[in-house]
Structure 1
Amino acid sequence: MQRVTKDKCIDIVNRFEPSKDGRKKGQLGIDEFTDYLLSEECDIFDPDQNKICEDMNQPLSHYYIASSHNTYLMKDQLQGPSSVEAYIRALTKGCWCMELDCWDGPNDDPIIYHGHTFTSKIQFKAVIEAINTYAFETSEYPVILSIENHCNIKQQQAMAEYMIEIFGDKLCSETVPENETCLPSPDALRGKILIKGKKLPPNSEDGYVTDEDEGAESDKKKNNKTKDHPVKKHKLAKELSDLVNYCVSTRFQDFQLSQTNQKYFEMCSFSESTAIKLAMSCPEEFVNHNKKFLSRIYPNGMRVDSSNYNPQDLWNCGCQMVALNYQTHGLMMDLYHGFFRRNANCGYILKPAIMREEIAYFSANTKDVIPGVSPQILHIKVISGQHFPKPKGSGARGDVTDPYVTIEIFGIPADCAEERTKTVPHNGYSPIFDESFEFQINLPELALVPFAVLDDDYIGDEFIGQYTIPFECMQTGYRHIRLCSNTGEEIPNCTLFIHVAITNKRGGG
């Protein structure tokens, strides 16, 4: 363990040793030592990360922002229920960019649901009220509402009215300063709600805007429109347009045009497949683009089951708002929650310096050691497990579990790796693994380490428990990992006991 003094050791003995005699001798009994090892102090997660520990005064474009897609849905995108509860859940889980899919409702009252589907409908006003109540409970940093607008003028005016009335001073409606060249910082926007959407050009006569962004997914489902189709126009109410300032939706054409024409407060949305194509074909330009401009990525319209793509591929390109379906549990959401666990789970993570600095050059597809970043070697010994439950649904098929542990590295392509322990037969209560692994991490700031425990003997869903941690939040020494269910809740008393060491790589790449 690092930063350990004699005084710290005496303090541990005094807190964990019940007998006066033991405390006097400065000794811990074996049971008390076990209690200490299982206490929060020996957790793998660095407690310093439970408070804001990053610089929050850089432009918004320099941060990853926790973002959700179709935030209103509780289940799938075709017939699942929409619910105000889904917004509350997203906010309490640390999501700071949410989507509002707005349609005309009865009695001139706008509603939110997934257009052209059988998902249930909720009132726009009820969602705004819930966001107002829960917005800054877990963090004071700005909340961004991505408006997908399909409403008529009258209902757009109602939307604007509700937001002005309910959000009050929280609504960021200042005019964008003419002389600025970059976005304000999360710190400068504390306690503010920003609206992302279309904006009318100054002195616009007809009030029409293109709506390639808004409803892009429902259009794709309807007519699979290609580049040859003319871009549809949409009438935008001035009242709604006036609420949009730092997140003005604009159409992406190519990186060169963006560099010359795009204004710092304009941002593009990309479907997952478009974004991944750009990440593969021009990774350097994508990283460069995201130094100055915000990008929002959303899942393909074909993911009707609300499944998720791998967010890591797009974080590697510096995309800030990589939106996932928060309602769908699984590995991708585990990665997401793991990634945003740091910096007090405030929903904003500062990007690595090489993805922010103007002179830096970085390609997300690099297979080499990165100049100026020293590679780290992660040594993990998986020692034992404690109290593993049986996999869900294993029922009466005997009480035994045959567990094994997988460790993966998610990060830039050069860092991706996977290892597994041997299987321990018939022992879910206290299996001993006693196996060591080594991983080279070339870009530590983007590396994630998911641990999973699985049952080798079970046919079907063999999942037992998981925990994902950013590499930079791992504490070295003997540590316990408190395993979580596939929905992210901690499983009582279910732990993995490991030893962690981190060393610098010697010699050249």
Structure 2
Amino acid sequence: MKELPSPNNLRGKIIIKAHREKWGDLVNICQVVPFSEDSLVTDASSNEGNCFKISSLSEHKLKGLITPSIREMLSGNKNSVEVRMQRLRDLTKKQLIRYYPGAQRQMSGNFDPIPGMNSGCQIAAMNVQTKCRHYAIYQSRFREYGSTGFALKPAFLLNADAPSIGTQRIIIKVIEGQNLLPPNKKTDLFVSVSVEGIKQDKIEKKTKKSKTNGKTTEWNEQIKFDVTCPEVDFILIRVKTSKYFGLKNSTIGLYSIPVTEMVNGMSYVPLCDPFLNKQPGTSLCIEVKIEDIKK
């Protein structure tokens, strides 16, 4: 097999992942091979990696590859991380890389899937039984492709010379929310809007607190962000309630969307509850304006 079948051709079929020694003769889709760091030390050769091979990395192993070590930080040698990142991306052009939660997640917590996505890794083994903001971000990546279970990589992960979108300014006006709480339940609510993605773009901004009657809540506040890599950034919107004089905040509704899927104009954002269950009739009215910034 020289190339993987298209997702459309794999519909209705079962993909078996097995070790080469026992089942290699029966499997023609995914063949497990150990991950070799040697491919990241030297330039990836033409015979390194095949489309039908798959290697697995724990979240800690992946983090160690794409973040500088203490020695590298002390010596100021941060370029080695960029080199490893690019060679990992080059490797994912030839074979599949799967990353999974570390062994310390005994309570089935989820890791942040974005660093793995940005490294070119194709498969994230999330704990689907645990619903959280990381899983909401993960789901939103596939929602833009009709929840088919696959998503196309940004062009720069396939070709380092591909043109990028460039820096954009995202202006979000949070207007009002509908049916955020049961009727006649009065409390203070605020909206948290954050950019989740590459390190230099990550930021969170909040509206002021507004009193709600459960039916409608008004803010009419504007929030601005500058994102340098829209292709891999996400916008995470959370409606929160403040308790105990602001000492504790709890999320009552959230929504995640890739920056590239945002469009100019007014829209109603459907909010899920903290467990990512749909809440019919619960939404947030926002107005979005996207500007290209030339630097």
Normalising by the smaller structure, the TM-score range is: 0.7 to 0.9
TM-superposed CA distance for 1:243, in Å, is: 2.7
1:480 partner SS: strand
Between the aligned partners of 1:290 and 1:427, the Cα distance in structure 2 is 51
Which of 222, 235, 239 lines up with 1:449 in the alignment? Answer: 235
1:340 partner SS: helix
Give % identity: 32
Which of 264, 269, 275 lines up with 2:51 in the alignment? Answer: 264
Q: Which residue of 2 aligns with 1:483?
A: 271
Which of 152, 167, 181 lines up with 1:389 in the alignment? Answer: 181
Between the aligned partners of 2:179 and 2:13, the Cα distance in structure 1 is 44
| Equivalent residue letter for 1:501 | K
Q: Which residue of 2 aligns with 1:73?
A: none
Q: Which residue of 1 aligns with 2:87?
A: 285
Q: Which residue of 2 aligns with 1:253?
A: 36
**1:297–1:323 contact (8 Å) kept in structure 2:** yes
Q: Which moved more, 1:484-493 or 1:454-463?
A: 454-463
**2:237–2:256 contact (8 Å) kept in structure 1:** yes
TM-superposed CA distance for 1:445, in Å, is: 2.4
1:183 partner SS: coil
| Counterparts of residues 359-370 of structure 1 (less than 5 Å) | 360=160
| Counterparts of residues 344-363 of structure 1 (less than 5 Å) | 344-357=146-159, 360=160
Spell out, residue by residue over 1:208-237, the C-alpha distance to the aligned partner (whole angstroms, 9 max, x if none).
xxxxxxxxxxxxxxxxxxxxxxxxxxxx3x
Q: Which residue of 1 aligns with 2:281?
A: 493
TM-superposed CA distance for 1:472, in Å, is: 2.1
Q: TM-score, normalised by structure 1?
A: 0.50
Q: Aligned pair in 2 of structure 1 residues 494, 190: CA closer, same or farther (>3 Å)?
A: closer
| Equivalent residue letter for 2:145 | N
Between the aligned partners of 1:297 and 1:273, the Cα distance in structure 2 is 9
Q: Aligned pair in 2 of structure 1 residues 323, 331: CA closer, same or farther (>3 Å)?
A: same
Q: Which residue of 1 aligns with 2:192?
A: 406
Spell out, residue by residue over 1:343-380, the C-alpha distance to the aligned partner (whole angstroms, 9 max, x if none).
111111100111012xx26xxxxxxxx96432222110
Q: Aligned pair in 2 of structure 1 residues 183, 302: CA closer, same or farther (>3 Å)?
A: same
Between the aligned partners of 1:468 and 1:183, the Cα distance in structure 2 is 30
| Equivalent residue letter for 2:240 | L
Q: Which residue of 2 aligns with 1:423?
A: 209
**1:198–1:244 contact (8 Å) kept in structure 2:** no
| Equivalent residue letter for 2:178 | Q
Spell out, residue by residue over 1:385-408, the C-alpha distance to the aligned partner (whole angstroms, 9 max, x if none).
122116xxxxxxx94220000011
Q: Aligned pair in 2 of structure 1 residues 279, 385: CA closer, same or farther (>3 Å)?
A: same
| Equivalent residue letter for 1:380 | I
Where in structure 1 do 4 or more consecutive aligned residues deviate above 6 Å?
Answer: none
TM-superposed CA distance for 1:461, in Å, is: 6.3
The structure with the larger Rg is 1
1:183 aligns with 2:4: yes
Between the aligned partners of 1:261 and 1:498, the Cα distance in structure 2 is 48
Q: Which residue of 1 aligns with 2:108?
A: 306
Q: Which residue of 2 aligns with 1:377?
A: 169
Between the aligned partners of 1:268 and 1:492, the Cα distance in structure 2 is 41
Unpaired runs of 5+ residues, structure 1, are 1-176, 201-235, 362-369, 391-397
Q: Which structure has greater strand proportion?
A: 2
Unpaired runs of 5+ residues, structure 2, are 68-80
Between the aligned partners of 1:263 and 1:440, the Cα distance in structure 2 is 38
**2:50–2:94 contact (8 Å) kept in structure 1:** no
2:130 partner SS: coil
Between the aligned partners of 1:483 and 1:296, the Cα distance in structure 2 is 30
Q: Which moved more, 1:488-497 or 1:324-333?
A: 488-497
Which of 14, 23, 27 lines up with 1:244 in the alignment? Answer: 27
